[in-house]
Amino acid sequence: MENPLLPPPGQDFDLRTLLPEQVGRAVELSLDCARAGLEQIYRLPEGAHDFENTALALDELHDQLDRVAGVVYLAAYTHPEEAVRKAARKSVQLLNQFGNELGLDERLYKALKAFATSPQGQALEGPRRKFVDESVREFERNGLALPPEQREELKRLKDRLSELGLAFSSNISEYQDSLELDEAELEGLPQDYKDERRLPDGRYRVDISYPSYRPFMRYARSGDARERLYRKFLNRAADKNPEVLDEIIRLRGQLAQMLGYRSFAEYKLENKMAKTPEQVWKFERELAQKLAPKVRADYQELLEIKRQHLGDDSQHAILNWESAFYANLLEERKYQVDAEQVKEYFELDNCLEGIFAVSGRLFGLRFRELPEPPVWHPEVRLFEAWRDEQKVGSFYLDLFPREGKYNHAAMFSVVNGRQTARGYQQPLAALVCNFPKPSAEKPSLLPHGEVETLFHEFGHLLHGLLTRAELQAQSGTSVARDYVETPSQLFENWAWEYESLRLFAKHYRTGEVLPKALYDKMLAAKKVGSGLHAIQQVFYGTLDMSLHDGFAPGQGERVSDVVRRLQNELTPYPYVEGTCFEAGFGHLQGYAAGYYGYLWALVYSEDIFSVFRRQGVFDADLGAALRDKILAAGSSRPEIEQVRDFLGREPSPEAFLEGLGI
């Protein structure tokens, strides 16, 4: 039987009728091919290793594996059938285990090391030299300097961490909870929101998915209902994940110490832009200090609007479940920004067309939707990206929530670009989001914050589509993790420029372009709460570092103690007893000792955009420079060199701080 996960070169995956057994079989075959490729490298006699038969062969081996791993990982988090998701998650574990084996493969390490230290290897330059040096170093970071028995222990530890990480993420994505509320408790919510959640008995079910949770916290006038939903939201996966997280943190600490590092953070940061935990602590502490006056001012502004709303000057605190509600009131009263009015100008398909138009002006891209895509759900769409009459890549759009689906927004890489004997391999990716579904009465209308999310994830997508790196290991978003958010956060800026918004921000009924007066109010309100938002990011980053830079579960503080202490120290909102935020904080898995990277990368993205702001947001030469010097480069050059090359100077935090209103 032909396997839809193993199409011939140049053909698309056909995911319309994917069966659970086909997932496992595809992974088995890809692992067999990888092992056969390894044998070819092993059999090379001493002195015969060169770039093509050793380093390039290793990159190709990873590419073949990653093609299958990418689509299997996508299925694990988006496929509508639970049996397929389970089979995919099981297969992801097998792939992770093989990756751990590969990272501890002594014969492969010796072959690569032999080439790296040979005259031919020493003569390499540019991306090829960078790839070989980093590959050798990664083997050594994986424990190849350890005695054989310790290597075996390290492999078991990594396998266990892979299992735990998958369980942690799955527990969050599959966790379901909701409130049943009466009409009075939904006062303040838009009618279309209520219509989507009405039950046969006239009550309403509000779940904890983002399209339900965020509008409810922003508009619901019932403080009691907001508090109850807030507590449910902060207890996502609290039934399973606290124990999983404890074991993950403990084993990460063991892994780092086995490899000779003081902490897991020290181990993880060695090959990032930041390099050391000390640099990250310095970044977070200095930022918290600079933010303090803005945080106080933002908080007082919310407190004043609460006093006005309640007619009670004795109010002295904003509670956690009140911040979004009073931020919305503040925007409406002080800045006359009605978020419900604003979203009528951001119909989802118009926003997509706007992103396509912006990408066309900046990078010369045009997009074509396939009419009958071979996809896993009827709502999923498939697009091709073209430039200069050449197809450069493809991407799926999976835009709406459904049961069992990944519940955040993310770009999933499926196939990476790379140079092959047949020409350049075209990237394939998926944009997975959870936007409000269209109804019979209204299309999908996005709050402006969700428009930013769409632009953000499309920035990741462009990073993958526009890559021209020779090697798949250096392709697209395969960059230092504290840099990977730079292109995505940079692209958010085009969701705020009126010159850009005029292209697509049109009223869904009348077609009227977003009025400049309304835009000016949105822009004036943009910095409302920017200090509070930024300090929340500092809290997340500091929590992540605290758990990975010397913390030991079960010895002194518990994870919940660290959460409580840091929230009370850093944010103006006190810790809420009876909640378990850390259980649903998925980034503790994906960004271990790396969450600081969002703000770190934002410093670079704001600096880069400051050049566009001066020279023109659709300056074609700047767009070409961004494409060629940053997006196309992947990690074929050190990331800091890419930024310096584009800016023509050293990076500066000035634009970042100015954007926060500091």
Catalytic positions, please? 457
CA distance 648 to 118: 36
Which residue intervals of 466-526 are DSSP H helices?
Answer: 485-492, 498-501, 516-525
Radius of gyration of the chain measured on its C-alpha atoms:
25
Q: Which of 2, 62, 76, 52 is nearest to 31 (CA)?
A: 62
In the structure encoding, which two tokens stand for residue 607, read together? 């600096």
Q: Please state, in angstroms and rounded to a whole number, the distance separating the CA atoms of residues 390 and 642.
A: 26
Q: Which of 169, 89, 86, 74 is nearest to 584 (CA)?
A: 169
3-state secondary structure 189-225: CCHHHHHHHECCCCCEEEECCHHHHHHHHHHCCCHHH
Torsion from C-alpha of 251, 253, 258, 264, nearest 10 degrees:
120
Give me the DSSP letters along 477-489: T-S-TTTTHHHHH
Structure tokens at 171: 């527990």
Q: Chain-centre distance of CA 287, in angstroms?
A: 22
Q: How far apart are CA 538 and CA 542, in angstroms?
A: 6
For the record, the structure tokens of 264 come out as: 């897991």
Residues 112/115/118/120 CA torsion (nearest 10 deg): -140
Close Cβ partners of 61 (under 8 Å, ≥ 6 residues apart): 34, 37, 38
Q: What string of H, E and C letters represents the secondary structure of 12-70? A: CCCCCCCCHHHHHHHHHHHHHHHHHHHHHHHCCCCCCCCHHHHHHHHHHHHHHHHHHHH
The DSSP symbol for 184 reads G
Cβ-proximal residues to 52 (8 Å cutoff; 6+ apart), any chain:
none
Alpha helix segments (H runs only) across 493-596: 498-501, 516-525, 530-548, 559-570, 587-590
C-alpha to C-alpha distance for 443 and 437, rounded to whole angstroms: 8
Strands 428-432 and 390-398 turn out to be parallel
Rounded to whole angstroms, the Cα distance separating 425 from 111 reads: 27
| DSSP tag of 600 | H
3-state helix, strand, coil in the chain (%, to 5): 60, 10, 35
Angle of helix 323-334 relative to helix 277-310, nearest 10 degrees, comes to: 60
